[in-house]
Amino acid sequence: MNGRSGIFKFFLFLFLGIIILLQFLSMVQSDRLYERLNTLISRLESSTVSAPARTGEKTAPSEPSNKSESVFTPYPGDDGDWVIRNLEGEPATLCDFLATSEWSSRWIVSGNIFEPMIEYEPDEFKYRGRLAEKFSISDDGMVIYFKLRDNIWFSDGHPVTTDDVIFTFNTITDPNIDAAPYANYFRDVDHYEKINDKEIKFYMKRVYFLSLGYLGGMTIYPEHIYKYKNAREFNERRSNPVGTGPYVFEKWDVGRQIVLRRNENYWGPKPKIRKLVFPFITNTTAELQALLAGQIDYMRPVPDQYAEKSNDDNFKKNFYCLSYWDAGNTGYFWIGWNEARPFFADKKVRLAMTYLVDRDSIIKHILRNPEARIPTGTFYIYGKQGDPNIKPWPYDPEKAKQLLDEAGWIDHDGDGIRDKNGVPFRFKYMIAADMALHEQIAKLVKDSAASAGIEVILDPYEWSVFSQKVQNREFDAVSMAWGGGIEEDPYQIWHSSQRQKGSNYVDFNNPAADALIEQARQTIDPDKRNALYHQFDRIIHEEQPYTFIYTRPEQRFLDKRFQNVIIHTLGINELEWYVPTQFQKYK
Do 460 and 341 share a structural domain? yes
Cβ contacts of 269 within 8 Å, gap of 6 or more:
72, 73, 74, 75
Residue 315 lies in a domain: no
> The domain spanning residue 492 has which CATH number?
3.10.105.10
Let me know if residue 214 belongs to a domain. yes
Contact criterion met (CB below 8 Å) for 273 and 561: no
pLDDT at residue number 40: 31
* pLDDT score of 61: 32
What DSSP line would sit under 326-379, residue for residue?
A: -TTT--EEEEEE-TTSTTSSSHHHHHHHHHT--HHHIIIIII--TT-B--SSSS
Between the CA atoms of 572, 574, 575 and 580, what dihedral angle is there, to the nearest 10 degrees? 120
CB distance 319 to 555 below 8 Å: no
Instruction: Give yes or no: residues 213 and 340 share one domain.
Output: no
User: pLDDT value at position 51?
Assistant: 59
Taking only the tens place, the pLDDT of each residue in 339-363 is: 999 999 999 999 999 999 999 999 9
- Which of 549, 545, 539 lies closest to 374, judged by CA? 549
Q: Which of 215, 235, 255 is the last residue of a domain?
A: 235
Same domain, residue pair 479 and 342: yes
* Residues 351, 223 within the same domain: no
Q: Positive or negative CA dihedral for 361, 418, 473, 542?
A: negative
Number of domains composing the chain = 2
- Residues of the chain short of pLDDT 50, as ranges, are 1-50, 56-71
Residue 434 lies in domain: 332-550
- Letter for the amino acid at 307? A
DSSP category for residue 67: G
How far are the Cα atoms of 4, 66, 491, 550 from residue 369, in angstroms, in the given order? 95, 40, 31, 11
Q: Which one of 235, 250, 265 terminates a domain?
A: 235
Nearest to 494 by CA among 552, 542, 430, 539: 539
Q: How many CB atoms lie within 10 A of CB 466?
A: 23
The answer to the question of residue 49 being in a domain is no
**For residue 85, what are the β-bridge partners?**
298
DSSP H or E segment with residue 176: none
Quick: pLDDT tens for 250-272: 999 999 999 999 999 999 999 99
Q: Please tell me whether residues 350 and 484 are part of one structural domain.
A: yes
Residues 488, 348, single domain; the answer is: yes
Residue 496: inside a domain: yes
In a domain, 421, yes or no: yes
Domain co-membership, 230 together with 336 = no
> How far, in Å, CA of 319 to CA of 559, rounded?
5
- Which CATH number does the domain housing residue 170 bear? 3.90.76.10
Model pLDDT, residue 394: 97
Task: Please say whether the beta carbons of 530 and 538 come within 8 A.
Answer: no
Q: Are both 348 and 213 inside the same structural domain?
A: no
Looking at the fold, whether 344 and 473 belong to one and the same domain comes out as yes
Looking at residue 52, its pLDDT comes to 67
Is 240 inside a domain boundary?
no
| Residue 480: per-residue pLDDT | 93
361 and 488 in a single domain? The answer is yes
Is residue 488 in some structural domain? yes
Per the domain annotation, does 204 fall within a domain? yes
